[in-house]
Structure 1
Amino acid sequence: CRAQNGEVLHEPTGRRARYGELAADAARIPLPDRVALKRPDEFKLVGTPAKRLDAPSKVNGTAVYGIDVRPPGVKIATLAQSPAFGGRVKSVDDSAAKAVKGVRQVVRLDDAVAVVADQMGAARKGLAALVIDWDDGPNARLRTQDIARELEQATLNPGPVAQSIGDADEAMARAATRIEATYQVPFLAHAAMEPMNCTVDVRKNGCEVWIGSQVIARVQAAAAKTTGLPLNKVVVHNHLIGGGFGRRLEVDGVVRAVQIAQHVAGPVKVIWTREEDIQHDMYRPYFFDRISAGLDGNGMPVAWKHRFAGSSVLARWLPPAFNKGLDPDTIDGATHLVYGLPNLRVEYLRVEPPGVPTAFWRSVGPSHSVFVVESFMDELAAAAKRDPVAYRRALLDNAPRAKAVLDLAAERAGWGEALSKRVGRGVSLQFAFGSYMAQVAEVEVSKTGAVRVRRVVCAVDCGTVVNPDTVRAQAEGAIIFGITAALNGEITVNGGRVEQTNFDTYQMLRMNEAPAIDVHIVRSGEPPGGMGEPGTSAVVPAIANAVFAATGKRLRKMPIDPAGLRAPA
């Protein structure tokens, strides 16, 4: 027998049966120890391009996102939350807001005020008319500089060991050359195009939620806890997501919407303004890294020590996974490197910034660690006076898949070909989320220090590929996301408040700034790896290393500061 087109075919007789017809009998058969799978040369669909079934509706506007739902009788609400982390409402004068045509009511919570109206325009006008006196609370003096200083101080002391190979201290002591550096990456917002929103109808005997979520079980649990209802009395309708990137793994917006809905008769859709979305995000953590290496007489690493401090999202999100002071997500990209390093020690120290909420962000731990590792690897190549690609290649004798993507990216990018003045190429290499990826970025740095990414070449071995179009799309989107972070991404805190407010102060990469992106997929029969995340973490160090190639200036802090890259007068 063989399976084909949803049926089991008995070839000697030509008899056919659909899977459903055989399911009951199949359930009674003991599971075999081994199953014969199709050989790759028998694949008909796996590995071939296929159009997405949801593409037409997304293009013509008929796709339904969370923000699109309109249950009968729904009211629209928007809100102002305490501008300072941990602040509270002292008093509110809502008389002018209630006078706005279309405003139905004002809901005051401990740390937020919402305006409920017939439509969003009226809700926003009512919100602007509120006079709120805030108590800024315990974090009123909090600044980014204070957080960075605390993280830096933390890295002066040992932390839990995430990985250890050989004896890094002894190897460092006998190294011919020692190189040290510190790196920093900032808080980052998710800034999804669809702002946070949630529609809720709370009744005495039940609660109904309409949302676009990455994890609806948590939505249901949060609504049940907030209302005090049993879990089976909460119904969640999940819809398309206009950008998640980890933000919609969180349920703070659900809790807020349920709190407001408890004061409203009938369903209410709570939509955050862009300002609320950016200033009350849950941010990619700020990290401070201290890294050093010892080189032998040929400039190759014999010792590698990496210690970093920052928030652990996993410790909050899934406490049992935070074990012995280590967060598997946070250390990802800093441990189990593709390179053959004989002596290595990686340490992580969990330091939570007071008041600042943190969350998973696209590419998670590697979003910071790959920038540090690959930038520092470039520093070692420069110290050894070696070509960055050749230097990495010399460390990959036991990593053939990594070597293959590195060679492919370099070849397709024209590595080694001459470039104009203040134009440079940079490379990065990583293993993350089960996929090997190399990227080469080509950048141009103007005399004023502005960086333009002209081209990105990405080579990836993500194992068996089902739909290559989807792999390319994920890589391209992730690269754009990472370029935004490298050039513009930074959330800063002053007086306990986020200083950025909208896309004028937290800028996205625009269409006319987007580079040419070439994605090359290595044919592989290995188990499938992830593709939604790696492109983001790989592109940031590739850009930083390209800037060094173009200007001779090393970038150890993100985002890129054009002032430090200006050409001499």
Structure 2
Amino acid sequence: MGKFTRRAFMVGGAAVGGTLALGVGFLSTIDTSGYDAVIADDGSFALNAWVTIKKDGTIQFAVPRLEMGQGVFTSLPMLLAEELEVDLSADNVSVVHPQENLPVYANFAMMLRKHPEQFSGAGDWLGKKMFGLMGLAGTGGSTSIVDAYTPLRKAGAIAREMLISAAAKQWGIAKSDCFAENGQVVSRLSGDKLSYGELAEAVSKETPDENVRLKPKKDFKLVGKPQKRVDIPSKVNGTAKFGVDVVTDDMLFGTVMQSPVFGGVVKSINDTEALKLKGVKKVVNLGDAVGVIADSYYKAKKALDYLDVEFDDSAVTKLNSDDVSRMLKEAIETGEEHEFVHEGDVEAASNGQETIEAYYEVPYLAHATMEPINATACVDGDKVEIWSGNQMPANMESVPKDVVNAKTVTPHIMYAGGGFGRRVEKDAETYAVKMAAAMPGIPVKVIYSREEDMQHDVYRPAAAARLKAVLGSDGYPDVLDTKVGLQPIMPSFSKRNLPFEIAGLSEASNMEGLQHSKYEVPNRRLKNSIIETNVPVGFWRSVSHTHNAFFLEGFVDELAHKAGHDPFEYRQHLLKGHKRLSALLAELKKQADWAKPVPKGKGRGIAVHESFLSYVGEVFDISLSDDGEVTVDKVTCVVDCGSVVNPDTVKAQMESGIIFGLSAALFGEITLDGGAVEQTNFTDYEMVKMRHAPEISVTIMENDELPGGVGEPGTPPVYPALANAIFAAGGKRIRSMPITKYGYSSI
């Protein structure tokens, strides 16, 4: 398997080895704008890839991002509805996930790592064509709004102008004598009105004009204003369909038992007793797991207890958690290095000066999504139908083709009950197709038990960092020297999900939140070394930002205290050259009432971090009892995510990210014993409960910058802000998580 850096792949490496032979001519036929109009078989008219209008007046918005609780089924249609001049809450307006994976639905912002407004030149043109060709309509990296902000507004505006043109021709007047309003075109001359439904047939003759003028921000009616989530009513009344809710005629149920040790394979199966159980249909050898198919999930799960399975893990190194910690430390001390940043002269500036040094470490973490991991498949000859809430819809097409050589695949994208990066994987879909192939023509729904999911997740990597600093006479750092040791995500992810392996040592995502830190330090060096284990690691909410923010913000706090400076003012000084972060800190200081004295037994900690093109600052107010009980009383959050689409979504995502991070900070740790995960369920992998949940205040900064992400940026400041608050309350300096490692507990 060849190795590539992701940067090389994204910039042009994908075009090497035959792809360039496709030629510019072919690539130019790949539609990455989506503005062409199409008449559907049912007589409805798709004005473009996102807007469909039927003669009965029904308006349907296609949202090619997975709705997994983050609100994209509201925020993305808001962009379309704003320019199209329709009421998103109207009875004739609906939102669906398109089942066809068109090239235009690729998440170009996620793949090219920039705003679409910044795309330019041959490299970006090639990237868009290639990623469109690959059908990478992914949901992740907090990029949904970033990717859609201008393209979807433009799609709505183009559709609006086509409708106005059709109405003007029907009335025999100029386009300038017409305007769109509330799902209809109005004549300025007569006051006559034509609904969009009445214009559906006529508009099919119109040609889209991409040189359309978008609304100025001052004229927005929807965007920037709170909107009710369109998916909430069905989730409240129970009609929403998640992957786990799929029901078909004659459906069977399956579940799996995977090798307890990562990398183990099935050696032998004795299924005699399991097959005697009523309702059990079949036991399937899946290679690295055993699957049971029955007429109910309960029976399939019960049958696992009657199986006699032997796994062969003789070729696997059986790690304990202490082994991983040792490997991380050795990597930092003596491992092969890659240098990401070297500014100034670190060695010269450190020579003969007092060096402040700290070592930080974080453990593996699970996703623990609310909805159990699941997928449903039906294999009928060379035809496969598949249902799943997957963050990469391309998986739902590629898996059946890879596993059973399917010629025709019909995917159904379902709601997902939480993703956090877990549902970008294709393991559930693979097991579902394999098990369905054992029952031809019959749909099989595979559901992981909570224990199976907890012990066979793709985990947030364990990581550690050694940070060194030299302070100048004013107490601010002249030198910041950081080395991170970690198990990188991209090699592990690519082995499982891609036809090639991505190198890990020089992968830029390892240093998210560190490489482009805005702190002004004249002499700065940043390196990493990596470890390799058989523990599968993957994308976790805010990915490497989670631990890198902890490393940096915890250490900056240490430097502030060492220098005798207020931790807030210390950051303000180091960020004085950055306009947006300076403004954010000023607002956070006011909202958190930072100058107010803190009573004995209380503590206040701050952290600020840039991630996913957004900036977030958080202040934690905590209580610390004499016996080590920590209560998080309040979290004050200020976010600058540029132009805001739905403020309610921004606020909800900040709150959600804080609670998600707080679960990890208070309790989260996946530990290994003999190569197997020890945690099994929420009994020993706890979540924040109502009694732990603090008051959360969220303030959104107002500006006209391009939008940043909001799904993940609320999480990274949590670790350091909590740790810094505990220290401020008179507690210990926290350099590893969860806080239970230091003897602290939460009531």
- The within-5 A match list for 1:127-276 is 127-139=304-316, 141-157=318-334, 159-173=337-351, 175=353, 177-230=354-407, 233-265=408-440, 266-276=442-452
For structure 2, the residue ranges without an aligned partner over 5 or more in a row are 1-81, 87-159, 165-173, 186-195
CA offset digits 1:312-344 (Å, max 9, x no partner): 222454688957942222211111112112111
Aligned to 2:85: 5
CA offset digits 1:468-521 (Å, max 9, x no partner): 000001111111000001011100111110000010011111122111111000
CA offset digits 1:333-375 (Å, max 9, x no partner): 111112112111111223222x100000000110110011000
**1:301 Cα deviation (Å)?**
0.6
The answer (yes or no) to whether the contact 2:280–2:293 under 8 Å persists in 1 is yes
AA aligned opposite 1:240: Y
Give SS of 2:711's match. coil
Aligned to 1:51: 228
AA aligned opposite 2:609: Q
Give SS of 2:420's match. coil
Cα distance in 1 for residues equivalent to 2:679 and 2:738: 14
Cα distance in 1 for residues equivalent to 2:355 and 2:580: 30
Range with greater deviation from structure 2 (65-74 or 89-98):
89-98
AA aligned opposite 2:528: Y
Cα distance in 2 for residues equivalent to 1:469 and 1:81: 41
AA aligned opposite 2:641: C
TM-score, reference length from structure 2: 0.71
AA aligned opposite 1:115: V
AA aligned opposite 1:228: N
The answer (yes or no) to whether the contact 2:358–2:466 under 8 Å persists in 1 is yes
The answer (yes or no) to whether the contact 2:622–2:634 under 8 Å persists in 1 is yes
**1:162 Cα deviation (Å)?**
1.5
Query: Is 1:330 paired with 2:505?
Result: no
Aligned to 2:544: 365
Distance 1:540 1:468, change over 3 A: same
Aligned to 2:456: 280
**1:26 Cα deviation (Å)?**
4.8
Distance 1:22 1:165, change over 3 A: farther
Cα distance in 2 for residues equivalent to 1:443 and 1:15: 55
Cα distance in 2 for residues equivalent to 1:146 and 1:204: 47
**1:285 Cα deviation (Å)?**
0.6
Give SS of 1:394's match. helix
Range with greater deviation from structure 2 (529-538 or 12-21):
12-21
452, 471, 474: which is aligned to 1:295? 471
**1:565 Cα deviation (Å)?**
4.6
Distance 1:565 1:275, change over 3 A: closer
For structure 1, the residue ranges without an aligned partner over 5 or more in a row are none
Cα distance in 2 for residues equivalent to 1:270 and 1:369: 36
Aligned to 1:396: 575
CA offset digits 1:194-225 (Å, max 9, x no partner): 11111111121211111111111023212211
AA aligned opposite 2:300: A
**1:25 Cα deviation (Å)?**
5.6
Aligned to 1:105: 282
Q: Note the aligned Cα RMSD (angstroms).
A: 2.3
CA offset digits 1:60-113 (Å, max 9, x no partner): 211100000012111011121111111223333322222222212222233222
Distance 1:145 1:91, change over 3 A: same
601, 604, 616: which is aligned to 1:437? 616
Number of aligned pairs? 557
Cα distance in 2 for residues equivalent to 1:381 and 1:563: 22
Distance 1:13 1:260, change over 3 A: closer
**1:416 Cα deviation (Å)?**
3.0
Cα distance in 1 for residues equivalent to 2:284 and 2:420: 30
Distance 1:287 1:4, change over 3 A: closer
Aligned to 1:310: 486
Query: Is 1:71 paired with 2:151?
Result: no
Cα distance in 1 for residues equivalent to 2:348 and 2:431: 54
Query: Is 1:375 paired with 2:554?
Result: yes
AA aligned opposite 1:345: R
AA aligned opposite 1:295: L
The answer (yes or no) to whether the contact 2:490–2:503 under 8 Å persists in 1 is no
Distance 1:12 1:226, change over 3 A: closer
The answer (yes or no) to whether the contact 1:448–1:563 under 8 Å persists in 2 is no
Cα distance in 1 for residues equivalent to 2:284 and 2:83: 59
AA aligned opposite 1:205: D
Give SS of 1:156's match. helix
Aligned to 2:90: none
AA aligned opposite 2:529: L
AA aligned opposite 1:503: F
Cα distance in 2 for residues equivalent to 1:383 and 1:63: 54
Cα distance in 1 for residues equivalent to 2:207 and 2:437: 49
Distance 1:74 1:15, change over 3 A: closer
The answer (yes or no) to whether the contact 1:86–1:137 under 8 Å persists in 2 is no
CA offset digits 1:258-293 (Å, max 9, x no partner): 222221231111111000000000101111111111
Cα distance in 1 for residues equivalent to 2:519 and 2:205: 50
Query: Is 1:427 paired with 2:606?
Result: yes
AA aligned opposite 1:328: A
Cα distance in 2 for residues equivalent to 1:323 and 1:129: 42
CA offset digits 1:127-168 (Å, max 9, x no partner): 122222333333363111112211211112461122222222
**1:551 Cα deviation (Å)?**
2.4
Q: Among all aligned residue pairs of Structure 1 and Structure 2, give the percentage whose two residues are the same amino acid.
A: 41
The answer (yes or no) to whether the contact 2:481–2:524 under 8 Å persists in 1 is yes
Give SS of 1:556's match. coil
636, 639, 654: which is aligned to 1:460? 639
AA aligned opposite 2:475: G
Range with greater deviation from structure 2 (394-403 or 358-367):
394-403
Aligned to 2:268: 91
Cα distance in 2 for residues equivalent to 1:294 and 1:221: 52
Cα distance in 2 for residues equivalent to 1:513 and 1:141: 35
Cα distance in 2 for residues equivalent to 1:291 and 1:373: 8
AA aligned opposite 1:138: A
Cα distance in 2 for residues equivalent to 1:38 and 1:202: 48
Distance 1:447 1:99, change over 3 A: farther
TM-score, reference length from structure 1: 0.93
Cα distance in 1 for residues equivalent to 2:439 and 2:385: 13
Cα distance in 1 for residues equivalent to 2:447 and 2:436: 12
